[in-house]
Chain A
Amino acid sequence: MRKIYADNAATTALSPEVLEAMMPYFTTVYGNPSSLYEIGSEAKEAVENARLKISQLIGAKSANEIYFTSGGSESDNWAIKGVARALKKRGKTHIITSKFEHHAVLHTCHALKKEGFEITYVDVYENGIVRVEDIEAAITDKTAIVSIMYANNEIGTIQPIAEIGKLCRDKGVIFHTDAVQAMGNVPINVEEQNIDLLSMTAHKLHGPKGCGALYIRKGIRPAVLIDGGAQERGMRAGTENVAGIVGFAKALELAIAGQEYRREHVTAMRNRLIDSLLTIERSRLNGDRDKRLPGNLNMCFEGIEGESLLLMLDMNGISSSSGSACTSGSLDPSHVLLAIGLPHEVAHGSMRLSFSDDITEEDVDYIADRVKYIVNYLRNMSPLWETIKKNEKEGKA
């Protein structure tokens, strides 16, 4: 059976080149970067080379603006909690974010609400894109930080980051973006886009799990989240994940080198599949078609439930994801799909596919064939679909 891994927004396969770059730091250069003997200083050098490379790849002014962390969730927590707590004593008690952020941001904001912060959640509208004017209207003299994701993890929509960056710079408000999904897929330049803090992770771009970074613009000093040793210039304690950091830098370099190919090839494959699947009656594409990550497809099929579709796709060798309640572990469907205005019953029937560079025309045609078969099969046994068709016949919506 054909096997297609189409859940690259969840995580990616480690690239063989990345693994090769990492290997020496598991086997021979295993020293602690804080140690003064040879394999310690070699490890330290590897970490600093990675830091410099990553800073250059995101257009940062200095390698000292890159702080390694355990990944996206830690970076998001640190950026928002760190800035909010540091600015609280200056009377800055307001945070602006959007309704469809990753839970690492949303739950961080919920935690800060308990500490007395006021949170504004801006709308993301039907196309899944925030409006800069909404953020402008929400900014007050108490606003500590604006946090808007670069691209959404479920529907892949790309936000107007440069415009938000400029607005925040003009208003003197700190701007953080969670770029976990966007990194390597779209051009990012923290200087040109006026980004003050940027969350990154390695495992979404064929790097290793458990390693990420936070870019912190020089002059901004978020409160420390992880106390301990003097690593990361006293800002983030803990022995460095040396192999992970080396792998992260290599993976980012490769991802950016392949960006153009991805924009052309993966987008074309993705669009071929969207067009094919939109021929299914009562189907819809979630989020803006053009302002979205190349590999992201998120669609709903009315009358069926997403987990059933996901399980049947798995039986056909296709790994996918769904925003249905059943896969979220709660009774509510994805907050992202509800934020773009989908009714609960439609959101339950969602499917997310996220492709990597290796996706082929044969793959997407196979997926289209299987999805059409399964949607039809599940609808045939769905009393909800029966009701939808009956209402259609009787001229109801």
Chain B
Amino acid sequence: MAYSEKVMDHFANPRNVGEIPDADGIGEVGNSRCGDIMKMYLKIDGDTITDVKFKTFGCGAAIATSSMATELVKGKSIDNALQLTNKAVMEALDGLPPVKVHCSVLAEEAIKAALSDYYQRKGIDPTLIIGAPSTSDEDREDPTCGE
């Protein structure tokens, strides 16, 4: 297994690491048993994601995909962020080894979980806007572990 240069760059120099104390939306996905947890913080002004930070427990790909996902939504509109796919994250990183595809799925889910939290805080049912993750089954590694 080898990571692309872009993955190694985002792993070694992750962008947007940290927390936003007064975040407008926070999403956490994954679990410690599987070895990956991603937590995303969004600051939203009107329709725009003005700031985004993340914290991740996980492997090199988990950190790199988190970092890339924050870069892909920062400064963008909510609509734009809602269209983020794990494929887009992978492509921006010049690909991932097959066993690491699930990390990109988590990154997409983390952004969506934070947006979901944002809508919930505003009293809007997020399932109508966000729905289920847009990943196709073939991209998706079996997310269960240790069973």
Contacts and interface: CB of A to CB of B under 8 A. Distances in A.
A86 B12 CA distance: 54
Given A315-B12, A344-B32, A385 B145 contact: no
Given A324-B35, A345-B33, A348-B35, A332 B58 contact: no
A325 B35 contact: yes
A330 B36 CA distance: 13
B33 A303 contact: no
Interface in B126-147: 141-142, 144-146
B109 interface: no
B57 A305 contact: yes
Contacts of A384: 32, 37, 57
Contacts of B142: 331
Contacts of A312: 12
Given A308-B11, A331-B145, A383 B56 contact: yes
B93 to A, nearest CB: 15
Contacts of A311: 8, 11, 60
A79 B145 CA distance: 33
Given A311-B60, A324-B59, A326-B60, 4 more contacts: A326-B100, A332-B145, A384-B37, A384-B57
Interface string B17-28: 110000000001
A382 interface: yes
Contacts of B12: 312, 315
Nearest to B66: A381
A325 B56 contact: no
A307 B35 CA distance: 10
Contacts of B17: 381
28 contacts: A305-B36, A311-B8, A311-B60, A312-B12, A324-B35, A324-B59, A325-B145, A326-B58, A330-B99, A331-B142, A331-B145, A332-B145, A332-B146, A343-B33, A344-B34, A344-B146, A345-B33, A345-B35, A381-B14, A381-B18, A382-B37, A382-B56, A382-B57, A383-B28, A383-B57, A384-B32, A385-B57, A386-B55
A329 interface: yes
B59 A381 contact: no
B39 interface: yes
What secondary structure prevails in chain B residues at the interface with A?
mixed
A348 B37 CA distance: 12
Interface string A377-396: 00001111110000000000
Query: Interface size bucket, A side?
Result: 20 to 34
Contact of B33 (A305, A344, A382, A383): A344
A308 B58 contact: yes
B56 A345 contact: no
A333 interface: yes
B34 A325 contact: yes
A304 B57 contact: yes
Given A329-B1, A344-B146, A307 B59 contact: yes
A271 B12 CA distance: 30
Contacts of B55: 381-383, 386
B113 interface: no
Interface in A321-343: 324-326, 329-333, 343
